Amino acid sequence: MSSSPIGIIVNGATSRIATTQHLRGALIPMRDEGGIEIGGELYVPDIYIVGRNAHRLERLANELSIENWTTDLSAALNNPDYPIMFDGAITHLRTETLMRAIEAGKHIYSEKPVAPSVTEGCRLLRAAQAKGLKHGAVEDKVYLPGLQKLAKLLDEGFLGEVLQFKLEFGWWVFDGIDIPCQRPSWNYRNRTGGGMISDMHPHWRYIIERLLGPISSVVAVAWTATPRRVDEDGTHYKVDVEDSTAALIELRSGIIGSLNASWATRVWNDEPLAFHIDGTLGSAIAGPQACHSQSYADTPAVTWNLTSKSSTQNSENWREILDPIRDMNSYRVGWEGFLSHVIANTPFSSTFEAGIRDVKLAEACLRSHSERRWVSMDDRVNN
C-alpha cells in the first residue's frame, strides 16, 4: 500500500494538552505506526510544531523526533506542505490564530472552546466556509471507554425510558502556596480566558446531547471557592473567574438533569467524572474508564433508618460493564475522524458547528448566572 505525508501544524505544541494528548497520545503513535489508512492509502502525519519558547520547542522536537519547529507562526502558515493547522494554544488568542490560519488557506482543528463567544465562533465558521475549508472541534470525551459503554447501554434499551441524569466532575486543585497547583494559572484569570464554565462546559454539552438529546434550557450559578492562588513564577494573584458551578439542565425531550463541577472538591470515587443516568428499567454510572449498571431486578428496596447502619450494601447491586469496546486514545479517535474528513470528505460530527454549540452552553450558563434566570439554548442572542 502506498503512503503519503499529510502536513499538520500544531500550534501551542508545548502546552500540556497538546504535548500529552495530541502529540504523544495521537499524532506521534500514528506517525510511528506508519500512518492511517484512508481510502486505500496510508497517510503519515508530518508534524510542524509551533510555540512561543524556542528552548522548550527544540527540546520537544528532539524528544519526539520532529524535524520542523518554529516560534514564527507566520512561517508555518506560509508553508504549502502543511494544509492543516491545529490550535492548542491559550484560549484568548484563539480567534486571531484561527483566522490567520483560515486566511492562509489551512483546514482548522481546534481545542475547546473553539472561540471565546458564539459570535466569534460564527465569524470563524463563515470565513472557513467561504474558502471551502474543512473545520473541526476537539470533542474527545465521548470516545472514552466508560462513556462508550454507557452509550451502548442506552442504544440497547437497558435503561428503558430515561427519567433523569446528573453529571459530577472535579477534584482538589491546590492553590500553589504550600503545594504546587496542578493546573496552569491562565485557567484562573479572566484576561486569559480562564474559568470552569468556558473551560469545561463545552465538554458537557456534547456528552449530554450525544447521549440524551438536545438541551433546551439551563439555569446556573457559579462561584469562586479558592480566591487566591500562586502562579508558575511564584507570584500571588487574585482569582477573578469561577472555579465551581452548579446547573440544572432541561432537555428538549423534557428530561431534567443536574451538573456540578468544581476545582475545590475532593474525589470520593475512583474517577473525577461521573455521569449517572436513571431509567425505568435500570440505571448506569460511567466515568472516563469504567461503567456500572443496575437493572430493575437488581434494585434493592432501600429503607432509611437513622438509628442504625443499613445492612444493605448498595454497591453490591451494581454490575461493572466489561463489554469489549474500541480502547484507543480518545484524542487519536478524533484525529483519525478529522483527517479522514479532510482527505476523503467522510462525515465528521465534531465540526465547527458542534464546537460553536459547545460554546453556546457555556455562554448560556454564564448568562443565567449573571441574570439569575433560566436561559434558552435556542436564544439567538449573540449569534
CATH number of the domain where residue 175 is located:
3.30.360.10
Q: Is residue 356 part of a domain?
A: no
Query: Cα separation of 357 and 269, whole Å?
Result: 30
Asked if residue 373 is part of any domain, the answer here is: no
189 in the same domain as 66: no
In terms of domains, do 146 and 294 share one?
yes
Residue 355 lies in a domain: no
Query: Residue 183 pLDDT more than 50?
Result: yes
With contact defined as beta carbons under 8 Å apart, do 76 and 101 qualify?
no
Q: For 314-327, what is each residue's pLDDT tens digit?
A: 778 899 999 777 77
Go through the chain and tell me how many residues it has.
Answer: 383
For residue 249, tell me if it sits in a domain. yes
Residue 120 in grid coordinates: 466569534
Asked if residue 354 is part of any domain, the answer here is: no
Same domain, 15 and 86: yes
Q: Residues 339, 290: one domain?
A: no
Count other Cβ atoms within 10 Å, centred on residue 223.
14
DSSP state of 339: H
The model's confidence at residue 160, banded by pLDDT at 50, 70 and 90, is very high
Same domain, 12 and 133: yes
Closest to 137 (Cα-Cα) out of 205, 70, 73? 205
Q: Are residues 194 and 129 in the same domain?
A: no
Residue 383 falls within a domain, yes or no?
no
Whether residues 282 and 177 share a domain: the answer is: yes
39 shares a domain with 149: no
Q: Which domain CATH number covers 26? A: 3.40.50.720
Indicate whether 376 belongs to any domain: no
Determine the pLDDT at residue 381: 38
Angle between helices 94-103 and 118-130 (to 10 degrees): 10
Residue 321's domain spans which residues?
Answer: 142-327+361-368
Q: Do both 101 and 171 map to the same domain?
A: no
| Residues 7, 122 share a domain | yes
Is residue 76 within 8 Å of residue 52, measured between CB atoms? no
Calculate Rg over the CA atoms of the chain. 22
How many angstroms separate the CA atoms of 141 and 277, rounded? 17
pLDDT digits (tens, 9 = 90+) for 106-134: 999 999 999 999 999 999 999 999 999 99
Q: Are both 59 and 72 inside the same structural domain?
A: yes
Which residues, in sequence order, are bridge partners of residue 283? 278, 294
Residue 377 lies in a domain: no
Q: Are residues 158 and 282 in the same domain?
A: yes
- DSSP strand pairing (3-11 vs 84-87): parallel
Give the pLDDT confidence score for residue 221 in this predicted structure. Answer: 98
User: How many domains are there within the chain?
Assistant: 2
Predicted model pTM: 0.93
